[in-house]
Structure 1
Amino acid sequence: MASLFGDVFLSRRASRFQTQTPWTPLPYSPWHETLWQFLATSSLVFGAWYVGWRWLGSVNYDALWFSIPLLLAETGAFFGLVLFTANLWSAKSPAPAPLPAGIRDCTDDPEMPDRPLSVDVFFATYSEDPELVRLGLKDAKRFTYPYPIDVKIHVLDDGKRPAMEAVAREEGVNYITRSDNVGFKAGNLRNAMTVTSGDFILICDADMQPFPTFLEETLGYFRDPKVAWVQTPHWFYDVPPGVPLPAALERWLGGAGRLLGKGFERIFGPVQIGEDPFANDPQLFFDVILRRRNWANASFCCGAGSIHRREAVMEAALRQWSDQVAAAAGRNEAAARRLTGEEAIAESIRDSMRWQGALEEEFQPYKFHVSEDIYTSIVLHSDRERGWKSVLHPKVQARMLSPNDLLSWTIQRFKYAGGTLDIMAHDNPLFRKGLTLPQKMMYASTFYSYLSPLWNIVFLFSPIIFLFSGIAPVAGYSLDFFIHIAPFLLLNELSQLVALWGNSNAKGRAWYLAMFPLNLQAMWAVVRGKKISFPVTPKDRQVGTYPRLVRWQIALVVLTAAGLIWGWSAFAAGVAGYSLGAMIANTVWGTSNMLSMLPMIRAAFWQPDPVYEAAIVEGATP
């Protein structure tokens, strides 16, 4: 029954959304970038002025237990804004060179004999529907390229399923499996690398359907012999598109509504009513955040949709393996000296220790880690001897399926958060030799963002504490307070609007706040040393609603609403501490917090259109 539901839902997605087209990358404009940089710098200057004033002139010494945590939270959030500004500083990106006609065009070795390029296409799968994988295999067989090229497609099946092998055979592609599942996806990729030999490796998830132009859009970058990989954006073609705001307002208000909607979108960017309830649209991340790391050579790999130079992956892995062997031999030699009391160890014994260390250290082209993609990026970026480069190509070159229920979404995001925090705790790139300062800043921005619940939880509960107690975390909500905070908030909002022109960040901000329980859970798992698992994100919609996944968000909304009633009642009664300025500030603050919780709460109870589901089950055409 579950399989039938999965097939039906897959059919619904494919038939309903197959005609959707991806976004067009934002064009680069030096004038636009200059305006953004001016506004961003102004925002940081006024932000520093505000934070400095908060520490020096607004501490509530009668309630340090409340005032200091908020001060630390504001300071932590401001530091995150500095990193985010550095991330978005420049949108300049390398342009792809003419497509290479042969392998000699992709190397600086004059002795390399020329021949057609060879590409291995890996479809990594474990438990996904074989018919879903078939869609991607069919599309990969349609790759176009203006020169002779050797493309081999491989199904990497960690599920060892006869049905998956049959699909691979029917599609005329290679089927690769292994006797164990060590390392999960990373181990699956490593195993495939040992039995393939292509110059480049294209990594596809089970649900990925590459466009025919994928190789034509990406291989030009590899004319630079230092380019190690090219990442393309993820695009979820099954995301409900919604109705444009002008059209929605026109239904209610006629022509005036359409004009109002167009005016709003000119200022704040496109708004869709009834769109994806899970904030799955990745344009903001790929077209703005990751793309703007190209200037620092710090765009990291996101797994699916990336194409890698095999030489770079293997060479970086060999160097890391060699360093691990040398370190292990050093530890063993020190232990032997302590045990024997000798000041030096004979060379023959030292060689034996190195050999033993080489046998014990496992060679891993892809790190056995839940976030093997970003881990591999860090290893390659830190190889200063070769100076490997990465590129985020802004144009979408594949379609994928999105998490379509809150349970699947939570599994995926916990994996992202836990994996990233685990790297930060155990192999922090900020302390890794080889990375440049700009690269460290870009990685710091990523890792620091996952610490956000440490200050977000303070921001979420501060207005509640005030509304129920009348105790303010600042010395007073005076005119001086508003004079310091207003310019910073205004300039920050303007700079974000310019930086993200054409992209709405409203939903992203809401989910950034609402994810605090999930990120705290991931943080706690890493602190306890709990291994972050490798669960496969479900591709079929899971049946049911998930109120338990948003219980903290619901509790926060209820507490804030109750606090607003209590606070305004106290203000009306003239209770000390409940001044008009304090009530206005905390009402705006608390209301904003509640609104930020609502999208995630709505997602927990969201159900697909039952009429449409019924039509699909009955075989009707959508």
Structure 2
Amino acid sequence: MPETSKPHFYFEAFEDRRPPPPLPHSPLIESLWQFFVVMALAFGARYIWWRWTGSLNMEALWLAIPLALAETLSYIGLVLFAVNLWSTRDPPMQPPPYGINECVEQPLEQDRPVAVDVFITTYNEEEELVRLSIRDAKAMRYPHPIDLRIHVLDDGRRPLMRQVAQEEGVHYITRDNNIGFKAGNLRNAMEHTSGDFIVICDADTRLFPTYLEHTLGYFRDPHIAWVQTPQWFYDIPQGRPLPDWLARHLGTPGRWIGRAVERLVGPVPVGRDPFANDPKMFYDVILRRRNPANAAFCCGAASIHRREAVMQAALRAYGSSVEQQVGKLSKGIREADIKRDFEEAVRGQIAVETEFTPYKFHVSEDIYTSIVLHNDPDQRWKSVLHPQVESKMLSPQDLLAWATQRFKYAGGTLDIALRDNPLFKGRMSLRQRLMYLSTFWSYFGGLWNLVFLLAPIVTLFTGISPLRAFSMEFYLHFLPFVILNELAFMFGTWGIAAWEGKASYLSFFSINLRALWTVLKGEKIKFPVTPKSRQEGNFLHMVWPQIAIVALTVLGLVVAGLRVFVFGATQELPVLIVISVWSVYNIAAMLPMIRAALWKPEDDPSQPDDARGQPAAPVHGF
């Protein structure tokens, strides 16, 4: 297209950024993590036992039991998280295969180059944004002959998108409906393609030239079904140094104050990653450490799949679904001959009416398909989390986009857990089941996190303690557990800033609960497209639950302080000390999400002035 009509994108200022390397594996750090986490779990079990047997306030069981139950459920999550993070064992990278015979159990009579289809899924994203993804996909290199085909999968059916694909010399695939959301889009594309391997990209997934060189080698093992690579958001705001930020508001004295603070605590970037979008904790710690259990699930974009695995699993799931429906219809027929004739008569019709879905028609089609493959009764399909970043993509630019994405993740996962739970069926190993249970369990966390947020507020306003007493016995049970737990996860997440993850998990409670309620009501989780440009407007209305928690906690601290220090209820002082520390932690966890609602890109000095304040893009279904 003419250079004069080229659109300006805010992320052009970040094109030179490079992804961080994978966290280095240290046997010493891993041993320290394992030692401290075993100690933490042991002292945690001791603490939970004491909570139920020796600490409940029998005069306020309505408050004591919910809190003890919340602590117990949270402890179970801690056990599952420890199992997940136990060790790092990366599958060794293999050299890229020369031909397809190096990737299959039964070689062909005549070898041929590996065939790869790149699927770039799009719906309503800017066409020129997709053009960038196409060009980067075309720039991938490979040391051997390869049959590489790039396809734009346009569920928006846009003439301009078709034109971009034609100009770039890639295939354009569309359909006349949007059944099955992204999974339906992928299925439609599989019907029109034939590559041995399929690379799945979102509209903004910018593949690096090394992508195929570094991933196809894993498929030398004929049982590898897919390889997931980390997602990296290259446009995350880096923030403004504290001295510069204070100088902007307070002048020279502010700069002096900022420098003094940074001399004490180190660099303090203001406005850095306001939505805690950095996925390094998830990919480089959580998912990477599922490799030893063969439980790294697919996360959609930036993954590559063996077509044979996807099709075989789909065929088995399809056949199983047909037989289940036939069995239900013939359940009441007792005569064997009549039952057999009836089943033969209806089987064909049911087979025609049943959808064949290589990728599950679901808002979380990626993890759902992973479950199907890991549960395959005839093939022990394997998965790999390749630790090195091989692509870049765009992060949510405002709280609406962030919440849209998180609600989709939470709702989709909870829907699978409650409606088609894989934990008690199929052929998954115990470790695989525990890994998936860890994922499901984390999304139920909104239930006990709500208790952790409300319990101190109730105590501050009423003076009623959920514990019999906050005596020395409490500290002897609680402090060893907390200290050992913090030490354990300091080593377990070595190299990662863990506080942002903890804060977002706690402040995530409202979205989590909304997703759970939506699933329990039987409503279908929609598939909203995450906006790729910042939406204009104020987002404080989206964080009213977090604002309410902060306001009620602060007011409760004032009420409790007056009761103790003004009206003489000094017997409540030990309770107030513990609850105050707890309350400050809760407030600190809520503030980042509240600040995110007010964040504007002007606070990022690396962003050019003319790229700020992008017009709002349409948001569907949230």
Scaled to the shorter chain, the TM-score interval is over 0.9
Structure 1 contact 50–485 (Cα < 8 Å) conserved = yes
Distance 2:103 2:566 in 1: 77
Distance 1:494 1:414 in 2: 32
Matched, 1:155 2:152: yes
Partner of 1:266: none
Matched, 1:191 2:188: yes
Partner of 2:112: 115
Residue pairs, 1:525-536, within 5 angstroms: 525-536=518-529
Distance 2:263 2:601 in 1: 31
Relative to structure 1, the CA distance from residue 550 to residue 328 in structure 2 (aligned partners, 3 Å threshold; closer, same or farther) is: same
Could you tell me which of 424, 444, 452 is aligned with 1:431?
A: 424
Structure 1 contact 242–275 (Cα < 8 Å) conserved = yes
Could you tell me which of 96, 103, 106 is aligned with 2:103?
A: 106
Post-superposition Cα deviations, 1:524-568, rounded to whole Å, max 9, x if no partner, equal 000000000111111111101111101111111111001111111
Which residue identity does 1:518 align to in structure 2? I
Distance 1:258 1:272 in 2: 10
Distance 1:403 1:64 in 2: 43
Partner of 1:267: none
Residue pairs, 1:440-459, within 5 angstroms: 440-459=433-452
Structure 1 contact 297–390 (Cα < 8 Å) conserved = yes
Relative to structure 1, the CA distance from residue 597 to residue 228 in structure 2 (aligned partners, 3 Å threshold; closer, same or farther) is: same
Q: CA deviation at 1:146?
A: 0.6
Q: CA deviation at 1:258?
A: 5.7
Q: CA deviation at 1:29?
A: 2.0
Partner of 2:349: 356
Structure 1 contact 545–606 (Cα < 8 Å) conserved = no
Could you tell me which of 380, 390, 401 is aligned with 1:408?
A: 401
SS of structure 2 residue aligned to 1:456: helix
Which residue identity does 2:34 align to in structure 1? Q
Aligned pair count reads: 601
SS of structure 2 residue aligned to 1:598: helix
Partner of 2:467: 474
Q: CA deviation at 1:484?
A: 0.6
Post-superposition Cα deviations, 1:63-113, rounded to whole Å, max 9, x if no partner, equal 000000000000000000000000000111211112111101101214553
Matched, 1:322 2:319: yes
Post-superposition Cα deviations, 1:194-253, rounded to whole Å, max 9, x if no partner, equal 110000000000011110110011111100110000000111111012357899999647
Structure 2 contact 22–388 (Cα < 8 Å) conserved = yes
Relative to structure 1, the CA distance from residue 325 to residue 543 in structure 2 (aligned partners, 3 Å threshold; closer, same or farther) is: same
Distance 1:543 1:14 in 2: 17
Residue pairs, 1:320-399, within 5 angstroms: 320-335=317-332, 337=333, 342=335, 344-345=337-338, 347-399=340-392
Distance 2:295 2:532 in 1: 30
Residue pairs, 1:54-453, within 5 angstroms: 54-111=51-108, 113-242=110-239, 252=256, 260-261=264-265, 272-335=269-332, 337=333, 342=335, 344-345=337-338, 347-453=340-446
Distance 2:582 2:258 in 1: 34
Structure 2 contact 10–608 (Cα < 8 Å) conserved = no
Distance 1:178 1:589 in 2: 54
Could you tell me which of 522, 525, 542 is aligned with 2:515?
A: 522
Could you tell me which of 593, 601, 608 is aligned with 2:601?
A: 608
Which residue identity does 1:44 align to in structure 2? L
Which residue identity does 1:463 align to in structure 2? P
SS of structure 1 residue aligned to 2:166: helix
Relative to structure 1, the CA distance from residue 146 to residue 245 in structure 2 (aligned partners, 3 Å threshold; closer, same or farther) is: farther
Which residue identity does 1:596 align to in structure 2? A
Q: What is the TM-score with the length of structure 1 in the denominator?
A: 0.93
* Unmatched 5+ stretches in structure 1: 1-6, 263-269
Relative to structure 1, the CA distance from residue 392 to residue 252 in structure 2 (aligned partners, 3 Å threshold; closer, same or farther) is: farther
Distance 2:164 2:108 in 1: 41
Relative to structure 1, the CA distance from residue 440 to residue 247 in structure 2 (aligned partners, 3 Å threshold; closer, same or farther) is: farther
Partner of 1:553: 546
Distance 2:94 2:241 in 1: 37
Post-superposition Cα deviations, 1:386-432, rounded to whole Å, max 9, x if no partner, equal 10000001111111111101011111111111000000111101122
Q: CA deviation at 1:328?
A: 1.4
Q: What is the TM-score with the length of structure 2 in the denominator?
A: 0.93
Structure 1 contact 470–577 (Cα < 8 Å) conserved = no
Q: Which moved more, 1:248-257 or 1:299-308?
A: 248-257
Distance 1:201 1:591 in 2: 49
Which residue identity does 1:238 align to in structure 2? D
Distance 1:243 1:85 in 2: 35
SS of structure 1 residue aligned to 2:423: helix
Structure 2 contact 407–515 (Cα < 8 Å) conserved = yes
Give the fraction of aligned pairs with identical amino acids, expressed as a percent.
Answer: 55
Structure 1 contact 123–204 (Cα < 8 Å) conserved = yes
Distance 2:157 2:170 in 1: 16
CA RMSD, Structure 1 to Structure 2 (Å): 2.3
